[in-house]
Structure 1
Amino acid sequence: MVFGLAGSALAQQAAPSAQPAPAAKEYNQQFLVPGSWFHGVHGLAFNKDDQLFAGSVVGQTLYRVQVDSGEVDRVIDPPTGMADDIAFADDGTMAWTAFLLGKVYIRKPNGKTIEVAQGLSGPNSLAFGKDGRLFVTEVFLGDALYEVDLKNVDKPDFKPFARNELRRIAEKMGGLNGFEIHRDDGFLYGPIWFKGEIVKVNLETGASEVIASGFKIPAAANIDPQNRDNVYVVDTGTGGIWSVSLTSKAKRLVASMKPGLDNLAFDSRGRLFVTSMTDNGIYMVDKQTGSWRTIVEGKLAIPADLAVTTEGGKETVHVADVFSYRNVDGTTGAVTDVLRVHGETHSYPTGISVGPKHTLLSSWFSNTVQKIDRKTGKLVATFTEFAAPVDALEAADGTIYVAELATGNLVKVSPDGKTRTNVVKELRGPVALAQGAGTLIYVTEIAAGAVTQIDVASGARKVVADNLAGPEGIDVGPDGKLYVAEVGQKRVVAIDPANGHKVVIASNLDIGLAPFPGGPPALMPTGVAVSRSGAVYVSADIRNALYKLTPPSP
Structure 2
Amino acid sequence: MTFPMRALALAGLFSLAPLALATSYSNPEVIVASSPFKGVHGLAVDKQGRLLAGSVVGNSIYQVDIDNGSVSTLIGPDDGQADDIAIGPNGEMAWTGFYSGRVLYRENDDAPIQVLATDLPGINSLDFNDKTGALYASQVFLGDALWEIDRNGQQPPRLIAKEMGGFNGFEVGADGWLYGPLWFKGQVVRINPADGEIKVISSEFKTPAAANFDSKGNLYAIDTFSGQLKLIDQSNGQARVVAQLDSALDNLALDAQDNIYVSNMANNRITRVNPQTGEARQIVGGELAVPAGLTLSEDGKTLYIADVFSLRAVDTASGKVTDLRRAHGSDAEYPINVGLGRERLLVTSFSTGTLQLISRSDNSTLAMVHHLNAPSAAVELDDGSILVSEMGTGKLLRLSGTDLSDRNDVLTGLQGPVQMIRAGDGMVYLTQMSGTLSRFNPATSELSSIAEGLRLPEGLAQLPDGRLLVAEPSAQRLLIIDPETGQSEVAAEHLPFGLKPGPGMPPTGIPTALAVDAEGHVYFASDIDNGLYRLTPQ
TM-score (norm 2): 0.96
Q: Which amino acid aligns with 1:167?
A: R
Offset at 1:437?
Answer: 3.7
**Residue of structure 2 in register with 1:501 after alignment:** 487
Q: Which amino acid aligns with 1:298?
A: G
Q: Distance in 1 between matches of 2:105 and 2:523?
A: 41
User: What does 1:487-498 correspond to in 2, within 5 Å?
Assistant: 487-498=473-484
Structure 2 counterpart SS, 1:488: helix
Structure 1 counterpart SS, 2:458: strand
**Residue of structure 2 in register with 1:129 after alignment:** 129
Q: Distance in 2 between matches of 1:13 and 1:465?
A: 13
What do the CA deviations read for 1:467-488 (whole angstroms, capped 9, x no partner)? Answer: 2112101112222111111112
Offset at 1:505?
Answer: 2.1
Q: Distance in 1 between matches of 2:30 and 2:19?
A: 25
Aligned pair partner of 1:411 in 392, 397, 409: 397
User: What does 1:45-124 correspond to in 2, within 5 Å?
Assistant: 45-109=44-108, 110-124=110-124
Aligned pair partner of 1:464 in 450, 454, 458: 450
**Residue of structure 2 in register with 1:32 after alignment:** 31
Contact 2:343 2:359 in 1 (8 A): yes
Q: Distance in 1 between matches of 2:178 and 2:396?
A: 47
**Residue of structure 2 in register with 1:181 after alignment:** 172
Offset at 1:453?
Answer: 0.4
Residue 512 of structure 1 pairs with residue 534 of structure 2: no
**Residue of structure 1 in register with 2:366 after alignment:** 380
Offset at 1:398?
Answer: 1.8
Describe the shift of the 1:490–1:2 C-alpha distance in structure 2 as closer, same or farther (beyond 3 A).
closer
**Residue of structure 2 in register with 1:145 after alignment:** 146
Q: Distance in 1 between matches of 2:232 and 2:356?
A: 36
Contact 2:13 2:453 in 1 (8 A): no
**Residue of structure 2 in register with 1:234 after alignment:** 222
Q: Which amino acid aligns with 2:185?
A: K
Contact 2:325 2:332 in 1 (8 A): no
What do the CA deviations read for 1:66-103 (whole angstroms, capped 9, x no partner)? Answer: 11111111011112111100000011111111001111
Q: Which amino acid aligns with 1:279?
A: N
Q: Distance in 2 between matches of 1:63 and 1:255?
A: 25
**Residue of structure 2 in register with 1:217 after alignment:** 207
Q: Distance in 2 between matches of 1:89 and 1:387?
A: 40
Offset at 1:167?
Answer: 0.9
Offset at 1:438?
Answer: 4.9
**Residue of structure 1 in register with 2:40 after alignment:** 41
Contact 2:224 2:329 in 1 (8 A): yes
Q: Distance in 1 between matches of 2:24 and 2:182?
A: 56
Contact 1:46 1:267 in 2 (8 A): yes
What do the CA deviations read for 1:320-365 (whole angstroms, capped 9, x no partner)? Answer: 0000001111112111111111111241011111111210111111
Q: Distance in 2 between matches of 1:390 and 1:100?
A: 19
Contact 1:21 1:502 in 2 (8 A): no
Contact 2:23 2:492 in 1 (8 A): no
Residue 432 of structure 1 pairs with residue 419 of structure 2: yes
Q: Which amino acid aligns with 1:112?
A: P
Contact 1:356 1:395 in 2 (8 A): no
What do the CA deviations read for 1:187-226 (whole angstroms, capped 9, x no partner)? Answer: 111000001000011110100111100311100000122x
Offset at 1:376?
Answer: 0.7
Describe the shift of the 1:197–1:377 C-alpha distance in structure 2 as closer, same or farther (beyond 3 A).
same
Aligned pair partner of 2:260 in 272, 275, 284: 272
**Residue of structure 2 in register with 1:289 after alignment:** 277
Residue 207 of structure 1 pairs with residue 192 of structure 2: no
Describe the shift of the 1:102–1:351 C-alpha distance in structure 2 as closer, same or farther (beyond 3 A).
same
For these two proteins, the number of residue pairs brought into alignment is 532
Q: Distance in 1 between matches of 2:52 and 2:494?
A: 31
Contact 1:44 1:263 in 2 (8 A): yes
Describe the shift of the 1:82–1:451 C-alpha distance in structure 2 as closer, same or farther (beyond 3 A).
same
Q: Distance in 2 between matches of 1:114 and 1:380?
A: 48
Moved over 4 A (4+): 1-4
User: What does 1:10-21 correspond to in 2, within 5 Å?
Assistant: 10=11, 12-16=12-16, 18-21=17-20
Structure 1 counterpart SS, 2:474: helix
Structure 1 counterpart SS, 2:103: strand
Per mean C-alpha deviation after superposition, the further-off stretch among 21-30 and 370-379 is: 21-30
Q: Which amino acid aligns with 1:247?
A: S
TM-score (norm 1): 0.93
Q: Which amino acid aligns with 2:381?
A: A
List gaps (5 residues or longer) in structure 1: none
User: What does 1:304-453 correspond to in 2, within 5 Å?
Assistant: 304-311=292-299, 315-415=301-401, 416-446=403-433, 448-453=434-439
Offset at 1:24?
Answer: 5.0
Aligned pair partner of 1:303 in 291, 315, 324: 291
Structure 1 counterpart SS, 2:501: coil
Offset at 1:417?
Answer: 2.1
**Residue of structure 2 in register with 1:171 after alignment:** 162
